[in-house]
Chain A
Amino acid sequence: MKNIWAICKKEIKTYFTSPIAYVAITVFLVLVGFFFHSLIWWFNSQSLQMSRNPYYFQQLNINQMVYSPLFHNIGIILLFMIPFLTMRLFAEEKKMKTDELLYTAPISINQVILGKYFASLFVLLVMFLLTGILSIFTFAYGNPELSPILSGYLGLFLMGAAFMAVGIFFSSLTENQIVAAVLTFGTLLLFWVLNWASFSAGGIWKDVLNYASYFQHFDDMTRGILDTTDVVYYLSFSFLGLFLTHTIIQSRRWR
């Protein structure tokens, strides 16, 4: 545990002494802020129109009309941003040959992987916490329900964590950061749209493709519904990513 923490601390420090984390977080917040603003503006205009009709006015729901699409947008922003947050993690070590020092120190490969993974989750957490500022406005001027927002965030976090694991895996494959980022992005996008293929597929494949795609799991979550199947899906995705990373690093030594 101490070793994992040591690696994690080092990675967090590197994120925040280089411009990477600041740039990523700023761009993320600008985009989220823009989407939030647009959604609120739209919600306000709808409210204004519907205020004349009490029945429809009852139907207005800030959770459904602002948060649900906002979470959807955040998910897409993460799809673009996460490859840049993870590309460095192993590729850089290999390029600088510092991996030689890590693997000759009395720590295990798993500890290195987990340390780096947790550091990337920390950045994700900072990003999400900063978007919490937006909710101050909705709670001050409206009456959204808290629990769907929290479960939406939790779902997003689990998805982001799965994305990070994919990114870490590709970073361990190459010493070129661009290659790692492109492969990560391509894979994430492919899994996102995998359910499209289920329209033409038949039988069991339809279900398999639907299950494998993020989209299906993500859609429920944006509405604040957190199903155990979704949680299991994301956790197993993360696990698979990290497990494959371990396999890659281990096998490289034996070649």
Chain B
Amino acid sequence: MIEVEHLTKKFGDLKAVQDLSFKVEKGKIWGLLGPNAAGKTTTMRILTGYLPATDGKATVADYDVFEQPNEVKKITGYLPENIPLYPEMTVSSYLNFFSEIKQIPTSKRKEAVNRTIEISGLESVRKRLIKNISRGFKQRVGLAQALIHEPQILILDEPTTGLDPAQIIEIRQLIKSLKGKRTIILSTHILAEVTQTCDGVVIINEGKLMASDSLEKLTASYEEREGIFIRLRVGGKEKVSLFESISGAENVSFEDDGFKIEWTKGKDIRDDITKIIVDNELGLIEMRPLAMNIEDLYLKVISGGVDQ
């Protein structure tokens, strides 16, 4: 659905994006991850047709962004980083304006505005001037603007910055509810956001691609150790030494009312662990694999330990 090939953007001598390539499949949510000034916003601006690239190719739904920008713009919804709003307009007139310039036919405009207001939960502020509504509502108005023409593609630049935790969750749910129907790229530096909303991730740093894959594959390929978390009916911290005695067990710890046990990839010790539990009649309540933490993954990728 979205394909970026060898994209490069220079501002004078500064290379904001260098030889960036990635692919996003239809109906998926992908996160664009990277530290500040990594080139996330520039990449998004190129995809939306706001900035021309210096080199390379970008296709959105089979339309070339540089050859057919108008076709791309028709099917793309874009929420820039600092939500652009007209403070002197009311919420509904703002949305009505965008329904007009996004080529929604006159007869369907009213319906589109009403539907968008409903989806984004703006009913209570629709008649108010944008300058007088709260930050959370402003963010929703921005998102509503991106959604109004029911675009196939949504490009959201840091959609949750500056919101309080409850608002973050609401916006995330709103984004998640669009999953499947739309292909979404969102940029963020909140790592939890990626694990909670995204199917895959593109990690960039200093304009270069560091990694790009689905979340499971990425974590799997960067994990050197595997581990499990177990919870037992009998016993607490004192049982740590019991598991430490297993040959190959590493980093055994007692956390969150359970045990974390790791081992080097390939040397599975799960059989030994179950044996100990059964032999000592400890009563297994819960057992699950420990996935590698997205924070660890991110830091690892950014610090350059990558050859992808």
* Alpha-carbon separation in the docked complex, A254 to B89 (Å): 31
Per a CB cutoff under 8 Å, which of A18, A96, A106 touches B74? A106
Check if A41 is an interface residue, CB within 8 A of chain B: no
Beyond A17-B89, A105-B73, A106-B70, whether A100 also contacts B101 by CB under 8 A is no
CB proximity to A under 8 Å, residues B13-69: 45, 48-52
Whether A6 touches B100, Cβ cut-off 8 Å, given contacts A106-B74, A253-B50, A253-B51, is: yes
A17 CA to B98 CA in the complex, in Å? Answer: 18
Contact between chains at B78 and A104 (CB < 8 Å): yes
Complex Cα spacing A255 to B11, Å: 7
The answer to whether B70 touches A104 (Cβ under 8 A) is no
Q: Is A101 an interface residue (CB 8 A)?
A: yes
The number of residue pairs between A and B whose CB atoms lie closer than 8 Å in the complex comes to 67
Q: Which of B45, B76, B84 contacts A96 (CB 8 A)?
A: B84
0 or 1 for each of B99-131: is its CB under 8 Å from A? (1 = yes): 011110000000000000000000000000000
Task: Tell me whether A101 and B80 are in contact in the complex, defined as CB-CB below 8 angstroms, given that A3-B101, A7-B101, A253-B52 are known contacts.
Answer: yes
A105 touches B102 (CB 8 A): yes
Which chain A residue lies CB-closest to B81?
A: A97
Instruction: Specify which chain A residues have a CB less than 8 angstroms from the CB of B102 in the assembled complex.
Output: 105-106
Main SS class of interface, A: helix
Query: Hey, what's the 0/1 contact readout for A9-50 against B, CB within 8 Å counting as 1?
Result: 110011001100000000000000000000000000000000
Contact of B152 with A by CB under 8 A: no
Q: Is A248 an interface residue (CB 8 A)?
A: no
Q: Inside 8 A of B82's CB, which chain A residues have their CB?
A: 97
Does the CB pair A104–B93 fall under 8 Å? Answer: no
Given known contacts A13-B89, A97-B84, A104 and B97 CB-to-CB distance under 8 angstroms: no
**In the complex, A218→B82 CA distance in Å?**
46
Whether the pair B80, A107 counts as a contact (CB closer than 8 A) is: no
Say whether A105 contacts B98, CB under 8 Å.
Answer: yes
In the complex, whether A134 has a CB less than 8 A from a CB of chain B is: no
A residues in contact with B92, CB < 8 Å: none
Binding site for A on B (CB under 8 A): 11, 45, 48-52, 70, 73-74, 76, 78, 80, 82, 84-89, 93, 97-98, 100-103, 145
Which residues of A pack against B, CB within 8 Å?
2-3, 6-7, 9-10, 13-14, 17-18, 96-107, 253-255
Other than the known A101-B78, A253-B51, what 19 A-B pairs have Cβ atoms closer than 8 Å? A2-B100, A7-B101, A9-B100, A10-B97, A17-B89, A18-B88, A96-B85, A96-B87, A98-B84, A100-B78, A103-B49, A104-B73, A105-B73, A105-B98, A105-B101, A105-B102, A106-B74, A106-B103, A254-B52
20 contacts between A and B (CB under 8 A): A6-B97, A6-B100, A10-B86, A10-B97, A14-B88, A96-B85, A98-B85, A98-B86, A100-B78, A103-B49, A103-B50, A104-B50, A104-B73, A104-B78, A105-B73, A105-B101, A106-B70, A106-B103, A253-B51, A253-B52
